[in-house]
Amino acid sequence: MREVIRLESVKKYYEVRSGLLGSKTLKALDGVTLSVGMRETVSVVGESGCGKSTLGRVSIRLLDVTSGRVLFKGVDISKMKEEELREQSFRKKMQIIFQDPYSSLNPFMRLGEIVAEPLEIHGYGKEEIRESVSRALEDVKLVPPEEFVNRYPHELSGGQRQRVNIARALVLGPEYIVADEPVSMIDASSRAEILLLLKSIRDQRGMGVLYITHDIATARYVSERIAVMYLGEIAETGLTTSVLKTPIHPYTILLLNSVPEPDPNNRRRRRLVIKGEPPSPLNPPSGCKFHTRCPIAMERCRAERPVLREYLPGHFAACHRAEEIISGAVSVA
Amino acid sequence: MSMALSVEGLKVYYNTEKGAVRAVDDVSFDLARGESLAVVGESGSGKSTLGLSLIRALPKNATVVSGRVFIDGEETLSLSLQDFRRRYSWKVISMVFQGAMNSLNPVLKVGDQVAEPLIYSGSADKDEARRRAMDIIEMVGLPREFYHRYPHELSGGMRQRVAIAMSLVMNPKILILDEPTSALDVTIQAQIMNLVKDLMERLGLSVIFITHDLALASDIADRIMVMYGGQIMELGSIERVIGEAPKHPYTEKLLASIPRLRSEGIPEFIPGRPPDLSSPPPGCRFHPRCPYAFDKCKSEEPPLFNVGGGHLSKCWLHGE
Ligand SMILES: Nc1ncnc2c1ncn2[C@@H]1O[C@H](COP(=O)(O)OP(=O)(O)OP(=O)(O)O)[C@@H](O)[C@H]1O
Ligand SMILES: Nc1ncnc2c1ncn2[C@@H]1O[C@H](COP(=O)(O)OP(=O)(O)O)[C@@H](O)[C@H]1O
Ligand code: SF4
Ligand SMILES: [Mg+2]
Ligand SMILES: [Mg+2]
């Protein structure tokens, strides 16, 4: 499969003020390597603050990297100047859909204008704009388009607004889309609609999609691969089926354990949970960053940072005890 | 023995420039002692309005149009607000408000906020109130020293624990929790759910658990009440409604929309959107989105049919 996006050892550090004089380094991304293929969706999951949005933004150069490389179809765009990104059409080819369908649309613009805006900015002609807008609205099932172009955002449900956001991201014909928690603010009854839509559009248009979510259950339906992040690092990554069926990293195992299911047999049963909260990224633990919450941490975990290794076909984890976990010699949950 | 709580024919409307918004429109149910009832529904279905009306804390533009609320057998809507506050608020029935963890007072120590109802009601002096607040803070799983922390020094999950502590400080028998975990990560959500389960057992609470998440509801509740457009669509034991199968088309479709981690099948969605409660559709409020709707559904409102074993469903499919 051809890659559309590849991040290589990407670090994104922020200098944040702490105390009166000092400043500290916040490692939002601490050496992330990840790729997304054409016609592929990769899910990025993890708790809030673990670096998911930063990863998404870095991957389309909405943020600059501190170090490492970002390749779009093999071309390193990580240090490219803004004019060059535009001239070589990288800006058109990479788009993002944000979480909040309510604040992301200008309330005073009609849908037609909202969806057409990116095309106008890029200097397209009238006829072309009309066609692209119609096609995008059809793709997101706001049909017939003529009926929707004159509406205002407040006349739409949350799900419909999010479809407008998707249409807007589609008009420039992107090859890579970052969807940053696109359904977390939408009613449960409409979520599946948006997710299935994203998948069918991806198939039609052959795009690569980075799907960011804190809801690992949704990852199953949209993505071929999954990456589990913890404190700016990838703890585990692999084929979605493999990761969900045979999670290796203790964090993934416990994360999966936390997800409730509509099954009354679990009623009132205490869940085995991850203790405590994620540590501050300003002061991350030594060695394996998960060791402070890991039920099977050993001395080595405190001292030495585990590297991502392939334990099952296409399935990587960064844990010193991965082999014991896989063999069943030690159990996490 | 009387029910912990009984609601009869409750209607609560909001006055707006568009006219009356029928947020709670003829709702009746009971809550037994020690029972947990999950109130489930999408955004705007009237869950919070229902909760707020039970503790007499509705916003100013809301009117209780009709209905009765019995707590321990006594009708409470007809009490003066002053009487209700003196005798019931916090002591008998209390509520963890939706978004409570984000509306703590930023300039007050969290412990003082937990202790406030004790001092305000005159039921404890300062030292006693502080000691009691620390006990509660410990009971919700935080160190006693957290009394002296300020809200901004705490994570979301810790602030939610503080909000729960506040609701419990006067030893209520009935606790309403309004979306207590919806802003939290699943890992922290699981911790809070464990806490709620512990507290229910330890304190023998009767609980109304408001959520938009059917999975969370089945994690905690004995019975489930599914609301849509200000009305009860289905009400029954969790074993019957979720464990066996829902009887109401809305519950059925809502259940089918949940992404499952541990079972096959692709989630479905419900086309359309919830009704505008200032002019709800005639007949069954769900009919514009219901795949089974027939003529009668469009013009006549169905009653809550008893489909067996106290399981209720408001749908014409059950008969005349
Ligand atoms: N203060 C208010 N004034 C006017 N209308 C209101 C007010 N509060 C709520 N409403 C309306 O009443 C209806 C029910 O709202 P309510 O907040 O009870 O729903 P909910 O089920 O708690 O929703 P959510 O899941 O979003 O919290 C909605 O149509 C809402 O827009
Ligand atoms: N502009 C910024 N300045 C400083 N810190 C930031 C900035 N943006 C994000 N962070 C920090 O980087 C970490 C990762 O954030 P983010 O990528 O938004 O996580 P997620 O999307 O997983 O919730 C967090 O600790 C966050 O506070
Ligand atoms: S490396 Fe050690 S601390 Fe980290 S997840 Fe594995 S066992 Fe736990
Ligand atoms: Mg984010
Ligand atoms: Mg509410």
Chain A residues whose CB is inside 8 A of the B212 CB are: 187-188
Candidate of B15, B24, B47, B225 to mutate for ligand 1, largest count of ligand atoms within 8 Å of Cβ: B47
pLDDT class of B199 with cuts at 50, 70, 90? very high
Chain B residues whose CB is inside 8 A of the A141 CB are: none
CA of A60 from ligand 4 middle (Å) equals 15
* ∠ CA A121-A122-A123, rounded to 5°: 90
A182 touches chain B (CB under 8 A): no
Q: Which two structure tokens, joined as six digits, stand for B73?
A: 């057998």
Task: Look up the pTM and report it.
Answer: 0.92
Please tell me the predicted confidence (pLDDT) of residue A83: 94
Per DSSP, B244 falls in state: I
Q: How remote is the C-alpha of A62 from its chain's centroid?
A: 14
Model confidence at B52: pLDDT above 90 = yes
Spatial distance between the Cα atoms of B77 and B70, rounded to a whole number of angstroms? 8
CA of A33 from ligand 3 middle (Å) equals 20
Spatial distance between the Cα atoms of A194 and A213, rounded to a whole number of angstroms? 14
**Largest separation between any pair of C-alpha atoms in chain B:** 66
Spatial distance between the Cα atoms of A171 and A107, rounded to a whole number of angstroms? 20
Q: Which two structure tokens, joined as six digits, stand for B38?
A: 């999950």
Residues 250 to 309 of A: which have CB under 8 A from any B CB? 254-268, 270-271, 273-274, 277
User: What pLDDT digit, counting tens, does each position of B297-309 carry?
Assistant: 999 999 999 999 8
| Cis-peptide into A144, omega within 30 deg | yes
Please tell me the predicted confidence (pLDDT) of residue B121: 86
Q: Which two structure tokens, joined as six digits, stand for B197?
A: 């389960």
Spatial distance between the Cα atoms of A197 and A189, rounded to a whole number of angstroms? 14
Nearest CA in chain B to A266: B219
A241 touches chain B (CB under 8 A): no
Please tell me the predicted confidence (pLDDT) of residue B1: 62
Chain A residues whose CB is inside 8 A of the B274 CB are: 187
Burial state string for A284-312 with b = 16 or more CB within 10 A and e = fewer than 16: bbebbbbbbbbeebeeebeeeebebeebb
Spatial distance between the Cα atoms of B219 and B178, rounded to a whole number of angstroms? 15
Spatial distance between the Cα atoms of A220 and A199, rounded to a whole number of angstroms? 12
Which residues line ion ligand 5, judged by CB < 5 Å? B 48, 98
Please tell me the predicted confidence (pLDDT) of residue B320: 67
Please tell me the predicted confidence (pLDDT) of residue A1: 66
User: What pLDDT digit, counting tens, does each position of B153-196 carry?
Assistant: 999 999 999 999 999 999 999 999 999 998 899 999 999 999 99
Q: Which two structure tokens, joined as six digits, stand for A88?
A: 């070589």
Nearest CA in chain A to B214: A262
Nearest CA to ligand 3 atom 7: A297
Return the HEC string of A182-203: CCCCCCHHHHHHHHHHHHHHHH
Nearest CA to ligand 3 atom 3: A291
A306 CB within 6 A, ligand 3: yes
Helix (H) or strand (E) holding B237: strand B231-237
Looking at the CA of A180, name the nearest ligand. Answer: 4
Chain B residues whose CB is inside 8 A of the A270 CB are: 194, 197-198
Chain A residues whose CB is inside 8 A of the B158 CB are: 277
The ligand 3 atom nearest the CA atom of A251: 5
Model confidence at B277: pLDDT above 80 = yes
Among A180-184, B75-79, B80-84, whose mean pLDDT is lowest?
A180-184
Spatial distance between the Cα atoms of B268 and B253, rounded to a whole number of angstroms? 7
CA of B229 from ligand 5 middle (Å) equals 13
Looking at the CA of B25, name the nearest ligand. Answer: 1
- Whether ipTM > 0.95 holds is no
The ligand 1 atom nearest the CA atom of B227: 21
* One-letter amino acid of A121: I
A220 touches chain B (CB under 8 A): yes
How many other C-beta atoms are found inside a 10 Å radius of the C-beta of residue B105? 12
Tens digit of pLDDT at every position of chain A (333 positions)? 699 999 999 999 999 987 777 889 999 999 999 999 999 999 999 999 999 999 999 999 999 999 999 999 999 999 999 999 999 999 999 999 988 878 888 999 999 999 999 999 989 999 999 999 999 999 898 888 888 999 999 888 888 888 999 999 999 999 999 999 999 888 888 889 899 999 999 999 999 999 999 999 999 999 999 999 999 999 999 999 999 999 999 999 999 999 998 888 777 778 888 988 899 889 999 999 999 999 999 999 999 999 999 999 999 999 999 999 999 999 998
Per DSSP, B287 falls in state: G
Contact: A47, B193; criterion CB under 8 Å? no
> What is residue B303's three-state secondary structure?
coil
Strand partners for A230: A233
How would you list the strands of the sheet with A94-97, edge to edge? A94-97, A176-180, A208-213, A41-45, A225-230, A233-239, A315-317, A309-312
Burial state string for B193-208 with b = 16 or more CB within 10 A and e = fewer than 16: bbbbbebbeeeebbbb
Which residues surround ligand 1 with Cβ inside 6 Å?
Answer: B 14, 16, 21, 23, 41, 43-49, 59, 61, 98, 212, 277
> What is residue A96's three-state secondary structure?
strand
Query: How many alpha carbons lie under 13 Å from residue A182 in its C-beta half-sphere?
Result: 34
Best of B187, B250, B286 to disrupt the A interface (most A CBs within 10 Å) is B187
Please tell me the predicted confidence (pLDDT) of residue B61: 95
